[in-house]
Amino acid sequence: MEMVTSGKGYLYNLFAQLCSYVTQTLTKNYLVKYSCISEEERKRVNAKIEKETPLHLDEKGNFSPISEEDITNEFAIKLSSFTDSLKITDDKNCIMRFLQAMDSALSQILAAESIHLQEQQKSKSLNTNRKETGISLLPRCECVWARKSRQSFSYRRIDNYLKYIMVIEDRVLEDIDDEHIFIPKGFFRNFDETKKLKVAACPLNAKSSFDIRFHRNDDLQVFSLDYYPSAIAQDNMRVWNKITEAGKEGAELIVFPEMLGNATMEAFVRQKLQELSEEERQLIPAMIVLPSYFTGSQNYSTVLDRNGNVMARQYKQNPYVMKCKHGEYMENILGSNRIEIFHYEGIGRFAVLICKDFLTTRYMERIMRGFMLTMIIVPAYSTGSYDFKMSFDLCAHDYCNVVWINSCAAMVPGKESNFEYIGYVRKRINRYQDESEAFCKMKPCRSLFQGKCDKKCIYYDSFGAV
């Protein structure tokens, strides 16, 4: 046998093949049972792995790390032959322990892999056989607020038993196209030092800078937005002022609502950032989620770093349906089925889900659980907060924090009671804290209900290690 990929690439593919075998042949119930195998059985499978593979246990009972130089052709042949024998004998316990052994053995290689991925703009997976196996492998970033037993009480997945590798199953994601951004260490400097992430959220405005246009798209009734050209300069400057204000307050992430962007806002903010000196740039939030912009058949939020680089553009996938006196009209967007997943050591994995994407429960759950998200950022333009709070509870179940910000401009006359809160941060707390501390409740100013907006609202909260 000759390795057609690099040594580590061959092991990634072999690992994915074995994961695929597990997902296709072993039941979820078995994944529960595996955690309870006896000490005698654990000794048996450990001895088998040590005898028939080049992997060895250290003094602490973990399989020792290997280097790329260790992955010779002979090394790969032994692991491949052992994998085949496990499938033939259907030695379930040894299959799972072998996956754990490989996970541990690859720890140092995966650490170097993470650094390499940080140098790339976008990544897909470590293995090249995703199409054949339905499995994607990535290095795992730890999260300081997620319990180590995360999700084990509710559902089982292979990587609940792994420490260094994240296993993504395409059968869970269905038709979702994922891209991954590994953010270099030092990006969130204050978080690195304190293990607390300070976030800012701003509803921006009590009036929309657009008209809603109702029209037909073939046999569908749809709506689109027509933005006011006269409001562009003022809106752009307001967003920029909020960004600089949040930076001075020490926020490392700022989030704006849905719909309140425009055709020039991204370029305007990028230019402003690029014109700053290096010293001035350090007083800007590390990550900026701009207001989403509805154009043509897409609605997307641009994510920038403090240097003015576009980290990602997240497109909304699930259209909102507006109920009017003259019928129901669907948001005229196509979506792209692409989700951008950010990875950062200590924060874990996070994504932007625009309004209805967060409220579409099955979609949100597939994203959250398929990628083991630890934070979701939700820009919204909604007539109220009730449905969002229902989704927050699902996220809390998985130790996934949520930052949600609405727009005051979405308030419907006569439904002011729906706007008791304009935003929330839903975060994990420790067992000794009062449940009320799990919510940062963002109350709109009194002026909103009097038709007067001073445009000064900006909210802050911090969350992290518990």
Tokens encoding 408: 């005051």
**Pairing of β 196-201 and β 459-464:** antiparallel
**pLDDT tens digit string along 207-259?**
899 999 999 988 999 999 999 999 999 999 999 999 999 999 999 999 999 99
- For residues 173 and 134, give the distance between their C-alpha atoms in angstroms, rounded to a whole number: 10
> Is 336's pLDDT higher than 60?
yes
Average pLDDT score, the chain? 92
Mean pLDDT of 77-98: 96
Q: How much is the pTM?
A: 0.95
Q: Which of 13, 33, 48 is nearest to 160 (CA)?
A: 33
> Is 16's pLDDT higher than 80?
yes
Tokens encoding 209: 């800078």
> Is 206's pLDDT higher than 90?
no
- For residues 167 and 178, give the distance between their C-alpha atoms in angstroms, rounded to a whole number: 13
Q: Which of 322, 299, 295, 300 is nearest to 221 (CA)?
A: 322
Residue type, 212: I
> Is 152's pLDDT higher than 80?
no
pLDDT the model gives residue 416: 81
Mean pLDDT of 425-443: 91
pLDDT the model gives residue 400: 95
Dihedral, 39, 40, 42, 48 alpha carbons, nearest 10: 160
pLDDT the model gives residue 106: 97
Angle at 89 between CA 83 and CA 90, to 5 degrees: 80
pLDDT the model gives residue 2: 47
Which residue, chain included where needed, has tokens 């989620």?
A: 289
**pLDDT tens digit string along 437-446?**
999 999 888 7
> Is 125's pLDDT higher than 60?
yes
**pLDDT tens digit string along 55-81?**
999 998 899 999 999 999 999 999 999
pLDDT the model gives residue 154: 54
**pLDDT tens digit string along 361-383?**
999 999 999 999 999 999 999 98
- For residues 169 and 77, give the distance between their C-alpha atoms in angstroms, rounded to a whole number: 26
pLDDT the model gives residue 5: 57
The pLDDT > 90 percentage for the chain reads: 77
Mean pLDDT of 346-358: 97
| Residue 109: band (very low, low, confident or very high) from pLDDT cuts 50, 70, 90 | very high
| Residue 149: band (very low, low, confident or very high) from pLDDT cuts 50, 70, 90 | low
pLDDT the model gives residue 1: 42
79 φ/ψ sector (left φ>0, alpha ψ -120 to 50, else beta): alpha
> Is 326's pLDDT higher than 90?
no
Cα–Cα distances in angstroms (integers) from residue 340 to residues 101, 368, 463, in the given order: 30, 12, 22
| Residue 35: band (very low, low, confident or very high) from pLDDT cuts 50, 70, 90 | confident
> Is 150's pLDDT higher than 80?
no
Cα–Cα distances in angstroms (integers) from residue 294 to residues 239, 259, 299, in the given order: 17, 6, 4
| Total Cβ atoms within 10 A of residue 309 | 12
Mean pLDDT of 132-153: 84
- Per-residue b or e along 390-408, where b marks 16 or more CB atoms closer than 10 Å to that residue's CB: ebbebbbebbbbbbbbbbb
- Which positions ≥6 away from 20 have C-beta within 8 Å? 132, 133, 134, 135
Cα–Cα distances in angstroms (integers) from residue 260 to residues 294, 358, 431, in the given order: 9, 18, 38
